[in-house]
Every structure is written in structure tokens, then in C-alpha cells.
Amino acid sequence: MCSRSEFNGSIRKLVVAFDIGTTFSGISYRYYDPRFVFEPATPFEFFSVLDPGQMPEIKSVTRFPAQEEVDSHSKIPTIIYYDDNGSVCAIGAEAVEEGIDGVAENKGWTKAECYIQETHAIGSSLWESLEQQITYVLTHPNGWEGAQQSEMRRAAVIAGLVPDTEEGRSRVSFVTEGEASLHYCIQRGLMSEMIKDGDGVLIVDAGGGTIDISGYCQISHQSFEEMATPECHFQGSTFVTNRAREFLEGHNFSGTLIGLLIAQIDLLRGSRFFKDVDLITQRFDNKTKLGFRDINSPQFVPFASVREFDSKLNIRSGQLKLMGSDVASFFEPSVACIIKAVAQQRAASETNISTVFLVGGFAASDWLFSRVKETLELLGINFCRPDSHVYVGQSFSVTLMLKKGHSNSKAVADGAISYFLDHFVEARMSKFTYGTKVNVLYDPGISEHLARSSTIFTHLDGKRRLPGAFSEILQKNTRVSQGDEFRRHYSTSASSPSKLSSVTFGLYCARADAGNLTEWLDEDPEMYLKLCTIEADMSSVCHLLPPRRSRKRGKIYYTMDYSIVLFFGTTELSAQIAWMENGIEKRSPARVVYDPQQ
């Protein structure tokens, strides 16, 4: 178990973490009050309050509107219904109540999945008193970057969680699902119990939509760093269900099992049962997928009256019979994805990886767990999962009644609060090579420059330059700590000082390794992606710039010399601009702006 410092604040504070999953969503919170202790209002509504001298404790929201079953592992479907005016009509558990589809169809509601607004009744007066002291931690897949974080922060503003001010936006922070899961495992004491001294650990967060793989090594007591670039793959539990649907609909299906390639399937297409594919898929997702454990045992999916019978289609007593080998093949791409990702992380890491933890809703699948386990154990890897699970399907949840208080169904939400409190990860690996587009001096003695001679332009200083070169700031797979700075010196010129009152700087990321990068962005446009624009206000500096005169043209111009300083050590990119003034370096915060279309 982890140890925390006591809360030393002077005012009450609430920290809320949202895990907005593809299929289901969860929420955890931490409530600080240095003055009062509140007793639980009900068995499932409670606050964890800290008096001065007490350590923070993480609590989970375990009851949501319209949920019939309430337990310590509660999550809600990521589903919401809107009417034609954009007003919310049904959320979460309300959106999967019996008969809701008919109501929605009659009233013309639109169903939006993969989004949820979660609620927890804590009392309007108390909430209002805390409104300006609430910090939100939002989780997201490993593969998401600043553009997606920017959209999530904007959604938090639109939802009314925080005001659209600098102070309000600063109360929304982010953490990857992989890093949140690491924090969950640490606070459960799994690291001290399972990890050998000097060895690394992989966290496989298998959720509804994505499978996130992150590798960490322990560098000191309760201090970790990433060993390799985290991975994110779209092979979560919903893709197993999607492959089952393709099988039923008679599409070309290419799930593999022990080298078997299933070709054209024509199961229900053209039959009177084809209209029931949606219902059969839903029943498969609700129960069959979770219960599947044996490749040699057929699976039966009930979907119709017991009088329904069709021996050619393996339908008896209203149940569709699926061969175990077929069901196993629906899982196989996800199984192969995890095994391959583990192998890639081991290859990229200099630290021996002895343990892999499987967390997330998809971890409840015994078949997924056993298939991956049998392969990894052959490699000498200890593959395990926390001792209780909640299954995540597309429209229904099944809680396995195991030891109370140790469910990993909300590992990400709980781990996100631990991330905010504990910050166990001190260093991360850069996912890409970062840099910007620059102009370079033309040199006719360089063959590549000569080949680009048609793009030559004359700068204000009278020198000939070529546009479109890539200037590297940070290489991919570089170890980055929280305080590390990455900077490059640049300059920009204009005919008057007023035109230099702001500096705009486009930041690009390249997915290839540094050795495979091209010198010019247009040589491989798909390799480079514009990540964001960095803007800095230089209005207080530009009027101090001395005039310069072009040697060849004799014209007056002004040049702003500056350095862009980037910080990649936290879960969000931040930037500063630096310049020299009377021999002293001055700095100012720079604004990072993401294009919503990126």
C-alpha cells in the first residue's frame, strides 16, 4: 500500500476523476475538509474527509440515477439520448432501461454512445460551497494527445463543470489510462508484492474500446518511470462483439484461431432470423462473451421464443448455437494484439520485465486472460490481474461477487485520483520526435538545396533562403522528467516592430524514429503532423528592438531573437518563450493552441 502526506490545506477541496469509457464510465473522488467530518448519508453515498494530520483516502461513486442494482463496483453505460433540440432525455442507466428504444424511436431521439455525464447526489448546498474548489482529473487512452485533451477541456467548460477562464480551465487536468492504472496497482500494494527488485512491470488496461499498454520500472520507493513509449490499440471488448456481428451477418470474417482463417460466412443472411442480428449480438455481448471459457464447448445465445427451430442454422428452442472455436476466433485478434504489444515493450526496454498486470473491464474475460497467460508464462512472465472484476459489455454489466472493495472495474478512475495525489511517475518517454518548420540559408554547394532552387526567396536581411526544413527539438524515445526543458533558438523578422508584437510557432510531431526522418517536411508529408500552434505575446518587448539595415537592399527591418522552451515532463505539453534583455534572460508563458480538426 502507498503512503501519502497529510493534507495541509486551509480550505475544503474536492477532487473528482472521470473515466469516460467506450462502453461504461466510472467516477472516483476525494473530498478534503480541514474542519469538519461528515458521516455517510447512506451506505452508498459517503465522503472521505480529511482533518489536518490525516491522509487522503479515495472513494468511488457507487450509485447513479436509474440504477436498480447498487454495489461497490458501480459503473454506468456510456450512452446518452438527445431530442431534436439537443436537450438531454436519458443518460447512462436510464438509456438502457427496458422499452427505451421504442420511446426513443417514437419521440425521435438521437442516441449518442461513447459519451456520458455522470452525476452523484452530494447535496446542492454542499456542492455549491465547493464549486470553485473542485479539481477534475479526466482520463484518456494512451494514444491521445493535446488536441484531444483540448476538446475534453472544452467539453468540461460546455458542461458547466468549470468556467471558461484561465483559472477554470486550470482545474481540469489529464492522465493516460495506462498511468492511472499503474497508480491503482501501486495503491493496492501489488508492486511490493509482485515485482522483483530491479525488474519492470507492464500495465495492460483492456477496456471497451482500447487496449493500452504501458511499461514502468521502479527507481526508488514509490517512484517509477516509463521504460518505453506507451501503446494504444483499438482491440477492446467491443471489437469482439463487432466480430461476432460480422459472423452473424455473413461478412468476410478474418478472425484467426491457431492458424485457422475463417472465410466467407453465410450464417443468418437471407434467413428470416436476419432481422434478429441486433438482438443476438446484444445477448452475445451481455452474457456469452463473459461466460466463454472453453474452445471445445458450444455456446448458446437465447434470442427468440422456445418454439423457434431451424436445424440448418443451429437454432433450437429459440437459441442460436455457436461453436466454441468460432467464439474463440472473435477474441483472437485482441489476444494477439496484447501478446505482440508485450513483446514490443520488452524489446524496447533495457529493463527486464517480469510481471504484467491485466486491468480494465475486458480483464474480466477468463478466456482473454487464460489465452494471454499461457503464452506469456512460456516467456517466463508472471501474468496476473487484481482478484475481482466487473465485465464491460456494450449495453449491460455483470458484477462478479468477489471480495468487497477490491474491484478493478474502476481502476482507471481510482488511479486517476491517486495520480493527482501521489504523482508516482517521475519520468516519461517521448512518444514522437517534435520540431518545427524553418527557413534555412541557401547553399548552392548542397545538392538538395540546388534541387529546391525554385523555392528560393530573399529574406529581409537580403540573404537567400529555402523554406520547409524540419528543425528538431526533442527526439522520440527520449527520457523526459517533469522539470526538463527542451529549447531551440529561432528568430523572425518584419519591416516594423509592431508586426513582431506576437510570435506564432507551429509545433510538428513526427512518428518515425529520428534516424528515419526526412530533412524537408514535403518529402514525406504523412510522416509529419502539425500538433499545435504556440503563441506568445511580445508586445512589451518588440518596441525595444533596434533597427537593422539590409546590406544588399539598404532597407530597414527588425528581428526578434527568441527561444522556444517546451516542457513534456507532465501529462500535458506546456511552453514558454525566452529572450535576452540587457544581458539577462527573460521569460514569459506561451499559449498552446490546438486545432479542433487535428
Model confidence over 166-209: pLDDT tens digits?
A: 899 999 999 999 999 999 888 887 777 667 667 899 999 998 88
pLDDT in tens, 333-350: 999 999 999 999 998 888
Alpha carbon distance 555, 544 (integer Å): 19
Asked, for residue 159, whether it belongs to a domain, the answer is yes
The number of distinct structural domains making up the chain is 2
44 Cβ contact list (under 8 Å, min separation 6): 62, 63, 70, 72, 74
Asked, for residue 574, whether it belongs to a domain, the answer is yes
Asked, for residue 233, whether it belongs to a domain, the answer is no
Domain containing residue 143: CATH number: 3.30.420
Asked, for residue 65, whether it belongs to a domain, the answer is yes
Domain that holds residue 84: 13-176
Band (pLDDT 50/70/90 cuts) for residue 242 is very high
Asked, for residue 496, whether it belongs to a domain, the answer is yes
Asked, for residue 565, whether it belongs to a domain, the answer is yes
The more confident residue out of 439 and 19 is 439
193 Cβ contact list (under 8 Å, min separation 6): none
Band (pLDDT 50/70/90 cuts) for residue 358 is very high
Alpha carbon distance 259, 266 (integer Å): 21
pLDDT of residue 35: 38
Does pLDDT of 43 surpass 70? no
Asked, for residue 395, whether it belongs to a domain, the answer is no
Tell me, letter by letter, the H, E, C secondary structure of 243-286. Answer: HHHHHHHCCECCCEECCEECCECCCCCCCCCHHHHHHHHHHHHH
Band (pLDDT 50/70/90 cuts) for residue 496 is very high
The last residue of one of the domains, among 158, 176, 194, is 176
Count CB atoms within 10 A of the CB of residue 289. Answer: 26
Band (pLDDT 50/70/90 cuts) for residue 566 is very high
User: By mean pLDDT, which of 165-179, 268-282, 359-373, 399-413 is the weakest?
Assistant: 399-413
With CA atoms as reference, report the closest residue to 443 among 476, 469, 404, 417.
Answer: 469
Band (pLDDT 50/70/90 cuts) for residue 96 is confident
With CA atoms as reference, report the closest residue to 333 among 250, 208, 246, 239.
Answer: 239
Asked, for residue 207, whether it belongs to a domain, the answer is no
The last residue of one of the domains, among 161, 176, 191, is 176
Alpha carbon distance 82, 112 (integer Å): 8
Does pLDDT of 305 surpass 60? yes
pLDDT in tens, 102-140: 777 787 887 765 432 333 344 455 556 666 778 888 988
Instruction: Give the residue-averaged pLDDT of 565-574.
Output: 90
Backbone angles phi, psi at 211, to 5 degrees: -115, 115
Burial class (CB in 10 A: 0-12, 13-18, 19+), 369: buried
DSSP codes of every residue in 13-70: EEEEEEEE-SSEEEEEEEEE-SS--PPPSBTTB------TT-----EE----TT-S--
pLDDT of residue 296: 95
Measured in whole angstroms, how far is the alpha carbon of residue 152 from the centre of its chain? 11
| Helix, coil or strand: residue 582 | coil
Band (pLDDT 50/70/90 cuts) for residue 492 is very high
The more confident residue out of 203 and 269 is 203
Band (pLDDT 50/70/90 cuts) for residue 33 is very low
The last residue of one of the domains, among 128, 160, 176, is 176
